[in-house]
Amino acid sequence: MQATAAKRPAVPPHVVVVDDEPLVCETLVSSLAPLECRVSVAHSGGTAMDIVRDTLPSVVLLDIHLGATSGLDVMKEVQRTSPGTECIIMTAHGTQETAIEAVNSGAFAYLVKPFTDSTLCLMGRRAIDRKETREALRRSEQGFRQVFDTCPDAILLVDAKTHQFVDVNQAAERLYGYTRDEFCDLDHSAITAEPERTVESFEKTLAGKLSRIPLRHHRRRDGTVFPVEISASVFTLEGQQVLCGIVHDISARIHAEEELRKHRQQLSHAERVLQTSHIVSSLAHEINQPLLGVLSNAQAALRMLAAKQVDHGELRAALSDIVSDSQRAGDVIQRIRSFLRKDKPVRSPLDINSQIRAVLDFVRAEIEDARVRVRTALGEGTPLVMGDPIELQQVILNIVLNAEQAMSVTPEASRELTISTCVERGTHVKVIVEDTGPGIADPDRIFEPFVTTKKKGLGLGLSIGQVLVHAHGGTIWAENRAGGGARVCFTVPVAMPESE
């Protein structure tokens, strides 16, 4: 940190002239007039020290011989009493040895009498400026330390070469459990739970390729591990490269996000249960059909067994039909169980077209009962997307059921549901669901919670769908078709291949 000379204070600088000859003191006071400073005079070391203790002057102008007292001894006393005061030594009988001694003892300047007024003013001005500069630097460093220590986030200064801590603030002491002195005996490996990633982040920060590290895990003194976000920068301090890391503990945020995820999952599950209840009669019909087949074939098999001669071919066919119908009923139940599962979402590469077909199988009976024709135009070679199959099926189901229910006011001959997929900008797969219903009264509000046009609807289906799509990194929107009806589209990012 560099400090510049401060603006000249309103209070004039104070200079103390110390010489045991009154006439010399008067001359020096007169010579110092151009400096526009306040001047005090002392004829002895004791008097000078009284003034210094009371006023803490900017400069003391000392004769090296003050009777029986050495000016150098007085200077040392001044330095102990008022460390910021600059001292100028004067002498009429100076030697090289005394000059060296004076400078080595901390004198700002060493003047040999006689000297000109301009020389005295020049040295006096420089001494005052240095005093003011040091004071400005002290205030600046004091202000920096105050800001440094009152920052609510932990600040870590780390030597770029050794990875040793150079300095930390009070927030870092509280966060990690080490004192500042203890930190300075450690390197960065003491607080990271991911050493390899930390070294990589160091290298990228030094190369200017990284300024924000979104998620890392650090370790406290007691061994507990917690998540952090880090803002990183590099600067030079006293000739060495230093990495500055501002560390923000995001434990509370991660916990809140996890609670939100759980609530969203519970709400999503409740919506799936509700949607299933809407089509339960159709599902019952779909299960009842194969069960009736099982019953019919079982009765036929019993009749065959009761006969005197058993036609093994017919008996085998009846039993095969029983197996087939049982599998059909089991498949329906399995689809319901899968859709209603309450597991934690797991995202993996999947085929969105397969998810659409699964939903259409699930609601086939409901769609047929509603006299809705379904057309699909699922793009061939559509890339895999990264997602959770049940969540994406729920999005598709909500849109499909909304479209089917919207067409209840449309003449049966005109009820048509079209689902298509395509690749969007090479980075997303887009799913388009179109219907021939009355359209959407307010497309801008359709995704708001509890906004519905259905008498028994809660208005949560599309709202939850929007949350799920956004959680997958996609977008969803609705619009009215030019020829009538509505169109709902959503996108899901293409699954990127894992980097080596």
104-113, 137-146, 189-198, 257-266 — which is least confidently predicted?
257-266
Tens of pLDDT, residues 446-482: 887 655 555 444 455 677 788 889 888 999 999 999 9
Residue 382 C-alpha from the chain's centroid: 34
Compute the Cα dihedral for 399, 401, 404, 409 and give only its sign. negative
Higher-confidence residue of 269 and 479: namely 479
Give the whole-number percent of the chain exceeding pLDDT 90.
37
**CA–CA separation, 387 and 2 (whole Å):** 54
Which range, 118-127, 138-147, 261-270, 456-465, is most confident?
Answer: 118-127
Tens of pLDDT, residues 227-261: 999 888 888 877 788 888 899 999 998 888 888 77
CA distance to 20, 96, 174, 405, 447, per residue, from 456 (Å): 106, 104, 55, 11, 17
Structure tokens at 457: 């609807």
Confidence of residue 272 (pLDDT cuts 50, 70, 90): low
**CA–CA separation, 103 and 89 (whole Å):** 9
Please choose, from the candidates 176, 281, 264, 179, the residue with its C-alpha nearest in 3D space to the C-alpha of residue 220: 176
Structure tokens at 405: 């229910």
Task: Count Cα atoms within 13 angstroms, Cβ side, for 285.
Answer: 11
Give the whole-number percent of the chain exceeding pLDDT 70.
85
pLDDT at 268: 61
Sheet holding 416-424, edge to edge: 373-377, 416-424, 428-434, 486-493, 476-480
**CA–CA separation, 91 and 100 (whole Å):** 13
pLDDT at 87: 93
Give me the mean pLDDT over the 298-323 stretch.
80
Structure tokens at 317: 């066919």
pLDDT at 147 over 90: no
pLDDT at 273: 63
